[in-house]
Structure 1
């Protein structure tokens, strides 16, 4: 029995057993197509539909949205989402495609939207029927989020939106976008407002989505251009001029590295792949080292390689144990410490593990996904190249260090 299971309440213990039984009988079939490494890199309709079907099935069974109120499409449970996440991770199912919806849009809508909009938007978000994307970064405002210039002008009970967003993952499939806008050009922070806006229904009319092809050949990123998009004021979250505060809700969850929200407990549980060891975690390096040969010996025979793998295992275990503090109220000395620290550490550990894997593979690490001789299907080099986006997303890691130093540790601002 795991440490988490031993600490279950009676409700959680009963729900954990239910999750295990359901997953044993309902694992998804083998995908008909090659799946991407990340939900942010879904490129084709067959990939999307397979993953949407899996999320909808898990949602219908009560394993997604467990802790949201029933009238918002949730299960009405108490701190059970982390239980479902742990059991899903243990059997290593495919990921849920609506990662931005679950990890960022859902908590923001839940905490800031009107009650009727929660009931309208959350059920299809949680089920994965509506894919969501995030409209924050702009060509001239990446890590300096408060400098966004995409503008919304009020016209009665409507808003007219014009501007340009970039690095917008999943916009090519999204039905909805969470969108930070400027509504007042005379104030940097107080001039921002936050909306949810339709995407798919406005393609070719008021919205243009253009894919950005990465060095990996993937097209998960997009740029989105708004040309007089008209949005009802009912889709504004919180008050006009309070967009920065609403955005902090989104960022707090985004910097939690994709965790699924459990609003009734105020905490967040690990998403699939983190508690039991991802196929790209340090434990996978052991198998890779045992099967990678150089000069007649395996990489596992190299004491330096063994030591480096062990160092990554230690870092991952430290990350896991540190993350447990998020569930203990008495250890929450600052609300930004654990989310920012976790984002910072997780992305750098992921990058370092992938880099070590490509070193272990040696020359074979240059082989692409389609090459039958590529170790591990060619996925480690892809993971390494994609890892640089992770250290930039949700605010570059340099920004995270500044925030932790200045706002959490109380250090003076850098000159």
Structure 2
């Protein structure tokens, strides 16, 4: 592992740029290079794989740069906030593919750093950083969505192990995950104070997943069933019945990262690309070279301005969280705004493409056009996932504005 820690800012940036250029796999320099789309998530399925994406991930992980600001003791980069930002900037400037996309990086790892034992950190954090384990999130249940604290999945103390029975739903990529971080009920006499946070190996007997097909035609979410699942006592994170505090903290990280993903065509839904340029192509130009439909032009401009303001706010709050104690309740403001802007963008995309946005498959439509209607349907979930917009408004009213509960 090269050591860039003591370099001056300009020298550090130059060293990072040179390292990225020297270590980026040649196969990935073609934007259309064919790789397994699941490879960016890593996990046990890719042990020994020589897929160029996996090779890239391993090289970056050896530097600790999949988690650049995490402590070196656990395999992280140990970079100062300014250095981590420089690394992010150079990755973006060079249009390098993300080395690793991971719920472990975005959500679980930060709370393990805060709440886990030293043994748990040394067991799980290096595997997250190296992309060895793919994680899923066991939170929502059929009867506990917005009211998450009503969850009923039972976890009983059996002396030398925990015994888990229950069901989770909307578990993203549970059918592809290696491990699950999960909320369970360890005390049925209390609500929030009866919840614990545990880690479950998905290969454990009694774990079953069933993908759910969405109206977009995709199946990223699953039902997950636990039937007499035994896990080690060491898989409890934090205190017994102390999981709600961890759950709230993790949701702040989740909302922060969901918000950052909106707007590029994936989280926002619809075709990727500049909406203004797409409108010029499909709607046509007026005498001054602008989008011919003035009303549509105004709404596209406003949406682009909203997203630009959102991204600047996300950048500011991310810097504040790195300099302080992690994300705050302000992530609920960002999550609410991001969902609204993303849904608006997907609707504008469908309107812009007109009849070409009505295709589902077959001839007469290019891939971006076929993606538009699927993306629009997918965007309906933006205001639900990671906490509904209604719940986020409640969080803002109570924890940001300090408003009293309604009487």
TM-score above 0.5, yes or no: yes
How far off its partner does 1:395 sit? 1.0
Distance 1:76 1:216, change over 3 A: same
User: Between Structure 1 and Structure 2, how many residues are aligned?
Assistant: 387
Q: Which residue is equivalent to 1:263?
A: none
Q: Is 2:405 aligned against 1:403?
A: no
Q: SS at the partner of 2:274?
A: helix
Residues 329 and 395 in structure 2, CA contact (< 8 A), matched pair in contact too: no
1:185-196 correspondence to structure 2 within 5 Å: 185-196=188-199
How far off its partner does 1:48 sit? 12
Distance 1:72 1:280, change over 3 A: farther
Q: Which residue is equivalent to 1:266?
A: none
How far off its partner does 1:108 sit? 1.7
Cα distance in 2 for residues equivalent to 1:165 and 1:335? 26
Residues 334 and 408 in structure 1, CA contact (< 8 A), matched pair in contact too: no
Q: Is 2:325 aligned against 1:325?
A: no
Higher RCO (CA < 8 A, seq sep 6+): 1
Distance 1:360 1:389, change over 3 A: same
Distance 1:370 1:119, change over 3 A: farther
Q: Is 2:294 aligned against 1:303?
A: yes
Cα distance in 2 for residues equivalent to 1:164 and 1:124? 27
Residues 303 and 341 in structure 2, CA contact (< 8 A), matched pair in contact too: yes
RMSD of aligned alpha carbons: 3.6
Structure 2, unmatched stretches of 5+, are 1-5
Q: Is 2:281 aligned against 1:291?
A: yes
Could you report, residue by residue, the CA deviation over 1:201-232 in whole angstroms, capped at 9, with x for unpaired residues? 22xx3100100011111111011100111111
Could you report, residue by residue, the CA deviation over 1:123-175 in whole angstroms, capped at 9, with x for unpaired residues? 22122221110000000000111111101000113100110001000111111
Could you report, residue by residue, the CA deviation over 1:98-138 in whole angstroms, capped at 9, with x for unpaired residues? 43111111112221111112111112212222111000000
Q: Which residue is equivalent to 2:3?
A: none
Distance 1:371 1:147, change over 3 A: farther
Equivalent of residue 64 in structure 1, options 66, 70, 73:
66
How far off its partner does 1:178 sit? 0.7
Residues 35 and 51 in structure 2, CA contact (< 8 A), matched pair in contact too: no
How far off its partner does 1:93 sit? 4.3
Residues 281 and 353 in structure 1, CA contact (< 8 A), matched pair in contact too: no
Distance 1:177 1:271, change over 3 A: same
Structure 1, unmatched stretches of 5+, are 1-8, 260-269
TM normalised by structure 2 equals 0.83
TM normalised by structure 1 equals 0.82
Distance 1:93 1:385, change over 3 A: farther
